Structure formats: C-alpha cells, structure tokens
Amino acid sequence: MATGVGTDWQAWQESWDRQQEWYMPDREERFRVMLDMVEALVGPRPRILDLACGTGSITARLLARFPEATSTGVDLDPALLAIAEGTFADDERVTLRTADLKDPDWPAKLPYDTYDAVLTATALHWLHSEPLAALYGRIAELVRDGGVFMNADHMIDETTPRINAAERAQRHRHMDQAKQDGALDWAAWWQVAAEDPVLAGPTARRFEIYGEHADGDMPSAAWHARVLREKGFGEARPVWCSPSDTLLLALK
C-alpha cells in the first residue's frame, strides 16, 4: 500500500474530519461519549477493535485520551487505509488489517482472539440488515465477557415520520449553507483524493469495491439493541443520540 514519503497525513486526517463534520456537526460529542463509556466499562488501558476504521478517527481519539490503549483497525477501503497507515506508521500500539466484513472469516485476520471493546462509527449503514445481523454475531464472539460493542450511526425510527422529515429538512438547510461557505461534501472530498498522486490509485480501487454511495439499511436503535441481545450481548441500549444518529452500546 502506498505510504507516500512526504505526504502530510495529518492534513488528510483533518480534511476527512471536516468533511464528516459537514454531515455530523456533533461528531466529536459522539466520540467523547463513546470513550467515556469505554473508560467506565473496561478502563483506561483497553484493547480495542476499530471496526470499519477508515482513516482511524476513533483510534486517534482513543490513543490521545488513553495512551496505554492498543487498537486494531480493520477496513476494506484502500484509500482510507492508506491514510491510516501513513498516520500510524510509527505507532506500535496500532495494527491495521484489510478485511471485508461481509466475509464470515474476516476475524481470522485479527492479531487477537478477543477485545475489551469493539467500536465503530458511521460505517455499518453500508450493510443491509441480514448481513449486519450476521456481523453482530461475529462481533459478540470477539468481545470478552464484560466487554462492550458500540456503534454510532444513522438509525431511523420509522414511527416518527413527521419528526424525521422536519429534522432532515433543517439539517440539509445547514449543510447547503456550509457548502456555499466552502465545505467539501463526500463527492468533492473524493474528487480531491483522486487527484492526489499518492491516493489516486487507492481511490480508484475503492470505487471499484464500493461504488458511489451506501446502499444498506438504517434500522432503528430498537432493532440494533434487539439483534445484539439475540446474538449474545446481555444488555444493549442507546447511550447518546441526536435527532438523526444514535450511539448504541451493547455489554457482553
């Protein structure tokens, strides 16, 4: 994988953060609550699996807050993994693996059999409900007894259509204004990445893998909690939410 001598990986991390914040202005608050719950349930020196890690956004915040933590990052996106590899190249606390979460054998690529916590954010909505439920079963096997799984993502409650519509309209008004003020959206960010000499090749490969947009499902938080309990977790519920997103925690 390209590592790009001289590439400013921190600049790419910050660019990714700004693009994600265009969609989720409260993104940092989600991460803060996620790490609060890591500390509360498994302590300040956890072994973490950063699932669908992307550029390593969770891992970066984890290690800044808990310097004695270790993280395994797993993703299939070659461009985002290139940024993660460049960012954490000299950090022995971080291991990165390429794996397809739809492949039932992906856990065999991990360096450990169990983890204190499995964390993921804004990623699993790329999966439809059936493969997501199967993935939750594999995650349950990776989390040690007393460990946690947390998923921060778009979770839509179909029982409140008027609330959903009003929230979505307001959110898109703010997004449109930010874009007019110069914010990069998803498509524009990837266009910039495709023009970078180091990321151009990995970016082309990621679009061969994924296409343009997610085509998965965004079931309600209640669905996620129910399925996680069915797959082996003892407790599961939201620990943070916005009008559009939920941070759901499951305790083994």
CA distance 219 to 228: 13
CA neighbor of 70 nearest in space, from 54, 94, 98: 94
Question: 1: pLDDT confidence band, cut at 50, 70 and 90?
Answer: very low
The per-residue pLDDT for range 216-240, each reduced to its tens digit, is 889 999 999 999 999 999 999 999 9
User: Is residue 150 within 8 Å of residue 244, measured between CB atoms?
Assistant: no
CA distance 154 to 127: 12
Which domains are present in the chain?
Answer: 9-251 (3.40.50.150)
All residues at 6 or more sequence positions from 86 whose CB lies less than 8 Å from its CB, including other chains? 3, 4, 7, 9, 12
Entry pTM: 0.95
The per-residue pLDDT for range 173-195, each reduced to its tens digit, is 999 998 998 889 999 999 999 99
Residue-averaged pLDDT of the chain? 94
User: Is residue 93 within 8 Å of residue 70, measured between CB atoms?
Assistant: yes
